[in-house]
Amino acid sequence: MFRRTTMRRAVSEAVVIFTTGQLLAMISPGVWPAILDPVVLPVTWILRLALFITPPVWAAMRVVSTRREKMSRRFWWLGPRLAIYCTMAGALVALLLGESGAFGPTSGPDIVRFFAHGRDALSLGAFIVGRLVTLSLLLVYFTIAVVCTRLANGGFLRFTMPAGRGRVTL
């Protein structure tokens, strides 16, 4: 049974998926031979995008719900809760491994950069502002994704036509 799990497990699976995408972003393209770059780079970008998009959809699909439940309070809070947990996981990856860009890691671990001087220095305020921006973007996307997934799976987007004996449900 694919969709039979608890809310707690669905949230933890979604956070693992998001963290896997963050860790995949930390792989430097220099690891691969240069001849494989035209193949490896697009594949990793597509995989990173999929691992960013998937967590709220995965969690919303995996949770057991009653037959009539479409959008209860627990599903309205699933998106923001996931956004908070994924932001914390992303902050942990940034603190321990560093930030990532389109082509792998852009700097060293942020915890080391707090104590650095010069152009590699990172203030605590800049780190917190960066995490708050990430949180706000994830809040918006994860909430929309959870709501749309629940409504699509609950039959909200179905309609019946024409009215009468020859009904066809789409």
Percent of the chain with pLDDT over 90: 41
Task: Quick: pLDDT tens for 28-81.
Answer: 877 888 888 788 888 888 998 999 999 999 998 888 776 666 667 788 899 999
Q: What is the mean pLDDT of residues 98-123?
A: 84
Its pTM stands at 0.82
Would you say residue 167 lies in a domain?
A: no
Show the tokens assigned to 77: 């809070």
Radius of gyration of the chain (CA): 20
d(CA 85, CA 146): 15
Domain assignment present for residue 169? The answer is no
Say whether 87 sits in a helix, a strand or coil.
helix
Sequence-distant (≥ 6) Cβ neighbours of residue 31 within 8 angstroms: none
- With respect to residue 1, please indicate whether it lies within any of the assigned structural domains: no
Residue 104 counted as domain residue: yes
Q: What is the domain extent for residue 71? A: 7-154
Question: Is residue 165 a part of any domain in this protein?
Answer: no
Assess if residue 57 is contained within a domain: yes
Q: Which residue has the higher pLDDT, 167 or 5?
A: 5
Query: Does residue 162 fall inside a structural domain?
Result: no
Residue 37 lies in a domain: yes
Within 10 Å of residue 13's Cβ, how many Cβ atoms?
Answer: 15
Domain count, the chain: 1
